[in-house]
Amino acid sequence: MITHKCGSASVPPSYTKQRDKKDLFAIAFGVFVEGIAALLLLGRLIVSIRTKGTTTKDRMDNNQDAESLSFYSSSEEILLVMRVPQTNGEENELKFADILKATNNFDKANIIGCGGYGLVYKAELNNGSKLAIKKLNGEMCLMEREFSAEVDALSMTQHENILPLWGYCIQGNSRLLLYSYMENGSLDDQLHNRDDDPSSFLDWPMRLKIAQGASLGLSYIHDDCKPHIVHRDIKSSNILLDKEFKAYIADFGLARLLLPNQTHVTTELVGTMGYIPPEYGQAWVATLRGDIYSFGVVLLELLTGRRPVPVLSTSEELVPWVLQMSSEGIQIEVLDPTLRGTGYEEQMLKVLQTACKCVHHDQFRRPAIMEIVSCLASVDAEQQM
């Protein structure tokens, strides 16, 4: 006898297993699709982060004073569109292969300088113009930070006493920055690495000219740039000289922007021994007054011909030695012996007074950059009267 049961029909076990498999497949497929979507979203986020630096390029492209400073990549190599000197304002396309050729594949014979994050090479292009190419290396995050700081700072500067950035390039792990070539190297070279040839000697009028030009460059980034720029590494090796000994402030790899209503930026202890203002190691903040201290040390180098930190342990550090001599009223003895008896002692002592104010231990008693510019200009004006 066949018995009929009311209610839900019983389901064969084989059919239940098949439905469970379909359910599992649907769940797995849904998880897979969601995973793909998450990866795509993450990819877009990474791309947006990586291309965030191109805001600098966009800003430069929108800036009529730097409209041709840009780069783009092709499938084969980086192509640089840059403003190269001596090309009558025409854009010059420079491939990465051209850079390798101009530096002889970054041969050590073409090295003309070095910094904390890379080497600087001399490059001569096919059109005869010369460039200095900084090739950054080292720890990736630090290299990227210096590269970004340099491009961000120099993309907003257009001044005759700021070293112009003609272009930049990203090729794999390489970060390249291209500048005008400076025939007379750095102030550090001229003061401390010269030979005994009298023709290589910097007389006082030339040193004063260099100080005036550098002060104008520093005034520009402190007062005229919006936002203001704290350089954080003013020193004689970062003041470059062209064939006419015109001074240019260079190397903005440690620079920071002071946004509106900011008086300082937090900082680690960075810079170069002998130039670092004392407050950097006390309050861990960087201000425009810190740059003033460093520039005061440069002025003392010009006046004394001495390095900030002595090579020999028997010598004294420059700043405390000069301040001690000045307090004893014998500041004339700190002047470079090669400059004494040349008739410029009065000018040099006036500049010395300003330099001593710049390196004052109390940062709030240091002069503003415009006061320094005015002082240096008045020294030159008095001589011409």
Identify the bridge partners of residue 130 per DSSP, sorted by sequence position.
124
**Options 152, 188, 189, 233, the catalytic residue:** 233
Q: Which two tokens stand for residue 345?
A: 């002692």
The length of the chain, given as a count of residues: 385
Give DSSP secondary structure letters for 109-148.
GGEEEEETTEEEEEEE-TTS-EEEEEEE-SSHHHHHHHHH
Return the percent helix, strand and coil in the chain, to nearest 5. 45, 15, 35
53: exposed, middle or buried (Cβ count in 10 Å: 0-12, 13-18, 19+): middle
User: For this structure, is 233 an active site residue?
Assistant: yes
Q: DSSP letter for 66, please.
A: G
135 contacts 119 by C-beta, under 8 angstroms: yes
Distance CA 316, CA 338 (A): 20
Residue type, 235: K
Does 135 carry a binding-site annotation? yes
- At 159 the three-state DSSP class reads coil
Distance CA 171, CA 77 (A): 7
Distance CA 293, CA 276 (A): 8
User: CA torsion, points 313, 316, 319, 321, in degrees to nearest 10?
Assistant: 180
Q: DSSP letter for 201, please.
A: -
Distance CA 229, CA 87 (A): 30
**Positions marked active-site:** 233
- The annotated binding site for ATP is made up of 135
| Residues contributing to the annotated binding site | 135
